[in-house]
Structure 1
Amino acid sequence: MTDIPVAAVILAAGKGTRMKSDLHKVLHPVAGRPMLLHLVAAVDALAPARKVVVVGSGRDQLEAALAGHDAALAVQEPQLGTGHAVQQAEAALAGFSGDVLILYGDVPLVSAATMRRMLDRLHAGDAPAAVVLGFRPADPAAYGRIIADGDGRIVRMVEYKDATADERAVTLCNSGLMAVAADDLFRLLARVGNANAAGEYYLPDIVMLAAADGRASAVIETGAGEVAGVNSRAELAAVEAAWQQQRRAEAMADGVTLIAPETVYFSYDTEIARDVTIEPNVVFGPDVRIASGARIHAFSHVEGASVGEGAEIGPYARLRPGAEIGRKAKVGNFVEVKKARLGEGAKANHLSYIGDADVGAGANIGAGTITCNYDGFLKYRTEIGAGAFIGSNSALVAPVSIGAGAIVGAGSVVTADVEADALAVARGRQQQQGGWAARFRARMAERKAALKGK
């Protein structure tokens, strides 16, 4: 079985009109990744020999999204049903001899393990002509039905529009996903007709055509959530919710503490080590790695960042792409970090922006400090040495270097490098005039009284 090559045909030609979007339906994201690329990633786990995506409208968008994914595109125009769609992949699979998985770009959560089960069943002892992935939804609605015997051999498959009342009472439904040997697939598709209520060429008809040749097909089942399709924004939200629920459960099973699991949102590639604690209302964007023992406080947003062992983030912190937070470092409330590294034990606890910077171990960034990294045209870096102390409400105008152990006085605007262990104060000198405030109040009271007399 492992020596038999696999190809995947992913159907993505639908217009997706119910999404009411200029973005192609299968490119709407789930957990920060386009639905189509979720499916491609699962297919890639099987090391396929070929991948073909059948497209219709929005071809340019799909070509851009699939760049680097080694997938051929086939065009279905006009769209005359699922059987017709798969036929469009025949040229791209010319010369291929192996198994073909037929998948749907708007059914993104199908796992590689389920795909493997389909392929394994295709090569079971009874040698089915095709394997269909079935499921039992809470509401069968208008899904096609599968009538099978006790061994999973398919007796009949029928689209809902063409089903009798008794057939519609069956709860086993057709997800549309199939596994078929390439040598059988296109031979059977060539015989599919369109004498049905919709006048379309249905892919499932190959099952009954094979049966007429004396070859039975088989069904295997999976949970309804794995084959949930997306045709509207509401269905997209439901798939997102299902994905997040599963990911939260996996995180907790792996030793991550989620104080309020239902409020934490992961990205498709979030990596979190054991003994991390995540407080409520935390959102992870793509490309995040959290080391063991770290704590992400409430209402923080983390994207494109790495957080070291025992570090603390938030509450109300934002880590943007390129943020590297070292071991036991602290990024506190209303602090934003972008393309900057905080060394071990460094602290930026309050109301600061640290961008395009390198902050040494043990440095302390006072409240209200910003690195002025942008002049309207170019970005510049700020270097803050180990153990440096930046006083509150300071502006470090990059490019600038603060030496190790240096102190910058509160309220300073630093435009030149500061030596190690030096004190830099860059603000106007304070002046004081004794009694001035009392004289001012008396003078203003007299003026106010005079105005009332007029």
Structure 2
Amino acid sequence: MLQAEAYFDLDALGRYLPLFEGVGAVWEALDRLKNFIKEIIRPNLPTDFLQGVPLAKSLVLYEGKAYCLEDGFDLRLGERPEVLREGRVLHEATLVMAGAVLWGEIELGPGVVVEPGALIKGPSIIGARAEIRQGAYVRGNCIIGEDCVVGHTTEIKHSIMLSGAKAGHFAYIGDSILGLGVNLGAGTKLANLKMRPGTVRILWQGKSYDTGRCKLGAILGDGVQTGCNSVTNPGVLLGPSSLIFPGLAVPSGIYPAKSFLRP
């Protein structure tokens, strides 16, 4: 239960697979994260839009070029904003709406939507069709995979969200890894810092493992779901298809696949 393959379908990780290959314990992927992002990131935003102030105009990235929304595009607002040209929806167009704040090296995949009031610091990679919603705070050294959601008043730092992971409302994700299709209920907090000084240690089968990390949040396997207002203490490793009931504080430790954690 220490290896990455116990938590994630490695065959589905695509370009992010090298981050997990050869690690002795799954949390070691976080030790590699900063350098890994530097190696693979392909920044694709004009420097004029990376000034750390709210954008005055909406930005469209389409077919490898950057445009202002007014340059022949239209915006259709709905549950998810859509970019149109000559009445046709451009599903591969990336939209950064006026009022968003950006700085540093940032890669945005096709079909990404960044809503007004979101703040993204680089280096960060945001995969295709991801949503960075109003009030979201991406603090840097983050990989946010395809079809992910970083929602309203959700903060994420030095973390990985694999494809389809969602944190839609009022969440904190610190020094953590969310597997494929993970869903965090509103108000979920993945705490990453102990109240007492020292590195995070994890007990497994009667042995205490020192992670060597002063900050370590949660490792949530593929398909994990957390209930509203649940909290994981630093150093929680939760196997795939597990559930955390609402309002629960989960102690540090390793929990096997299909665990049902309830008060």
The TM-score normalised by the length of structure 2 is 0.59
Query: Which structure features the higher share of helix residues?
Result: 1
Check the 8 A contact 1:348/1:364 in 2, yes or no: yes
Give the match's secondary structure for 2:135. coil
Give the 3 Å change call, closer, same or farther, for CA 388–314 of structure 1 in structure 2.
same
The aligned residue for residue 120 of structure 2 is 302
2:131 corresponds, among 312, 327, 330, to: 312
Q: 2:176, 2:59 → 1: CA distance? A: 36
Q: 1:379, 1:360 → 2: CA distance? A: 19
Which aligned segments of 4 or more residues in structure 1 are displaced greater than 4 angstroms? 247-261
Give the 3 Å change call, closer, same or farther, for CA 250–347 of structure 1 in structure 2.
closer
Report the count of equivalent residues: 172
Check the 8 A contact 1:260/1:279 in 2, yes or no: no
Q: 2:117, 2:104 → 1: CA distance? A: 17
Correspondence 1:218-367 to 2 at 5 A = 254-256=64-66, 258-259=68-69, 275-304=93-122, 305-367=124-186
**Structure 1: stretches of 5+ with no match in the other structure:** 1-239, 262-273, 428-454
Percent identity, aligned pairs only, is: 25
Task: Return the offset for 1:381.
Answer: 3.5
Give the 3 Å change call, closer, same or farther, for CA 285–249 of structure 1 in structure 2.
closer
Give the 3 Å change call, closer, same or farther, for CA 259–348 of structure 1 in structure 2.
farther
Q: 1:362, 1:253 → 2: CA distance? A: 28
Equivalent AA in structure 1 for residue 168 of structure 2: N
Equivalent AA in structure 2 for residue 397 of structure 1: N
Check the 8 A contact 1:256/1:277 in 2, yes or no: no
Q: 1:359, 1:404 → 2: CA distance? A: 10
Check the 8 A contact 1:342/1:358 in 2, yes or no: yes
Computing the radius of gyration from Cα coordinates, the structure with the larger value is 1
CA-atom RMSD, angstroms?
2.8
Q: Does 1:412 align with 2:248?
A: yes
**Structure 2: stretches of 5+ with no match in the other structure:** 1-50, 72-91, 198-213
Q: 2:237, 2:190 → 1: CA distance? A: 11
Task: Return the offset for 1:418.
Answer: 2.4
Equivalent AA in structure 2 for residue 390 of structure 1: T
Q: 1:407, 1:250 → 2: CA distance? A: 38
Check the 8 A contact 1:255/1:275 in 2, yes or no: no
Query: Which structure features the higher share of strand residues?
Result: 2
Q: Which has the higher contact order (CA 8 A, sep 6+)?
A: 2
Check the 8 A contact 1:259/1:278 in 2, yes or no: no
